Structure 1
Amino acid sequence: MRILIVNVNTTASMTDAIVASARSVASPGTEIIGLTPVFGPESVEGNFESYLAAVGVMDAVTRYEGDYDAVVQAGFGEHGREGLQELCDVPVVDITEAAGHVASLLGHKYSVVTTLDRTVPLIEDRLKLAGLDVRCASVRSSGMSVLEVEERPEDAVKAVVAEAETAVSQDGAEVVCLGCGGMAGLDTAVAAATGVPVVDGVTAAVKLAEALVGLGLTTSKSRTFAAPRDKRITGWPLTPDSQGA
């Protein structure tokens, strides 16, 4: 089984960290292939960047020339999953929804701890769209940017732990979700500090993707996620003048 795991930003070192986390839980025989978009923002923290990243992610998948059995979109609260489901004939799993679904199996309510406060509404909207908001006690901001989480891991752990503890003690969360692909690998430290299960969306998505492939299931193509209609797309993925810029 081969799973493509696509970083939503163009920071290759973050892709490497996400891939390492994914491989740590992948079953024997599952190959994890990491993809980094060739264009887009270095980190995603807002609607403009999220929509831009969605195009970059779809481009990265359509550029991939090998066979694959599933796709994981490794961006928390980001746009683009629906487009990938139209483009792909294999299961597509978004880490936001994967985290919420898994967390809902582990406790009555869960909370998400993410990066900057401006990303909180995006995550709330994606959870609502997926029907996962009813079980969400809160979405909390650690106050650290995506790049800061990568560059200052010790500070990131402290900031995420502090918000996770508040989510448990004040918001009634029984499970905590890490609300950023770049937080992959922080689950052990947060679980030790809070005493509750901590779900990393990357690893959860990999196991759900494996399960869907193993069950022989993929996205319905009957209506909503039918393949895009055959028509001319001008300037995809970039205009000729900007190629290689």
Structure 2
Amino acid sequence: MRILLINPNTTQELTDRLEAAARGVMSEGTELVAVTAPTGVPYISTRAEAQIGGVQVLEILAERHQDFDAAIVAAFGDPGLGAARELFDIPVVGLAEAGMLTACMLGGKFSIVTFAQALGPWYHECVAWHGLQGRCAGVYMLNGAFSSINAVQDEKADLLVDLARQAIDAGDTDTVVLAGAPLAGLATRVRDQIPVPIIDCAEAAMKQAEALAALRPRGAEAGSFKRPAGKPSFGLATALAARIGGE
């Protein structure tokens, strides 16, 4: 089984964190290949940046999908996820979707805990896009600057634990989802400090990708994710243009 992990951010250190977390739960015999977006922004935190990251996801998948059994979009807002499922036949798992659905399997409602106020609007929209508003007890965000995106989980670990406890104390929170690629690997470190199940989205996405690859679902030939008819395009990356063209 071969799994492709795509980091739509351009920061290699985030890819390394995501890959390490995924490898920590990976099954024996699975091969994981992690790829960092070659263009875009160091860390996606807005709708516009998510659109840019989504294009990177599609370009990378167009070039490499034929060599893998499943893929992971490794950014919490799942940029490009719907489009990837529309264009490619292999299962594609989103970091946010995998984390939230795994949380739903462990309790009634989940709370999302993340490290920056700027992420709130996009994350709320992500919950709605996945149809999980009724299962989400809230999105809790730290307020304050951090020194670097790669160091944010080390710098803010104690504050994130306190924020998770606040979410639980507010009521209705049965599980906590640590949101954002920079927090990959943190759940294992703080699990014993939080009195409900806490989800590492990179771990959840890895196991969901393995499960879907093992199920070997057929590509959609009907429904809303049926592959669109081919059409010409202009100026796109060669592999993506070919895929959109129907090849």
Under a length normalisation based on structure 2, what TM-score does the superposition of the two structures give? 0.89
Shift of 1:172: 2.8
- After TM superposition, what 4+ stretches of structure 1 lie above 3 angstroms from structure 2? 143-149
Per the TM alignment, residue 146 of structure 1 is displaced from its structure 2 partner at its CA by 8.6
Matched, 1:9 2:3: no
**Deviation at 1:218?**
4.9
Unaligned runs of 5+ in 1: 239-245
Structure 1 residues 141 and 237: CA distance shift in structure 2, 3 A: farther
Residue 189 (1) aligns with residue 150 (2): no
Match of 1:121 in 2: 121
Change (3 A) 1:141 1:4: same
- Does 2:108 correspond to 1:108? yes
Name the SS for the 2:211 alignment partner: helix
In structure 1, give the amino acid aligned to 2:119: T
- State the distance in 1 between where 2:65 and 2:213 align: 20
Give the letter for the 1:29 counterpart: G
Amino acid at match of 2:180: C
Number of residue-to-residue matches in the alignment: 238
Shift of 1:225: 1.7
Aligned to 1:242: none
Once the two structures are TM-superposed, the CA of residue 170 in structure 1 deviates from its matched residue by: 1.3
* Other-structure match for 2:244: none
- Equivalent residue, structure 2, for 1:67: 67
Structure 2 residue aligned with 1:243: none
Aligned twin of 2:143: 143
Give CA-to-partner distance per residue, 1:82-137, whole Å, 9 cap, x none: 11112211111111111111101111211011232121121111111212121111
Whole-angstrom CA distance in 2 between matches of 1:40 and 1:212: 29
Query: Which segment drifts farther, 47-56 or 113-122?
Result: 113-122
* TM-align CA RMSD: 2.0
Instruction: Go from structure 1 to structure 2 and tell me whether the alpha carbon gap of 1:28 and 1:147 turns closer, same or farther (over 3 Å shift).
Output: farther
> In 1, Cα distance between the equivalents of 2:62 and 2:144?
32
- Give the match for residue 81 of structure 1: 81
Q: Which residue of 2 aligns with 1:241?
A: none
TM-score, scaled to structure 1: 0.90
Q: Is the 8 A contact 2:70 2:91 kept in 1?
A: yes
Counterpart AA for 1:82: G
Partner of 2:241 in structure 1? none
The C-alpha deviation readout for 1:146-192, integer Å capped at 9, x for no partner, is: 98352243322122112111111114312100111221110023322
Q: Retained in 2: the 8 A contact 1:43–1:146?
A: no
Asked whether the 8 Å contact 2:58–2:84 carries over to 1, the reply is yes
| 1:23-58 per-position Cα deviation (integer Å, ceiling 9, x unaligned) | 111101111110111111111011111111110111
The separation in 2 between residues aligned to 1:60 and 1:15, in whole angstroms, is 15
Letter in 2 for 1:176: V
After TM superposition, list the pairs within 5 Å mapping 1:166-181 onto structure 2: 166-181=166-181
Q: Provide the identity percentage.
A: 32
Aligned AA (2:233) = I
CA distance in 2, matches of 1:185, 1:33: 18
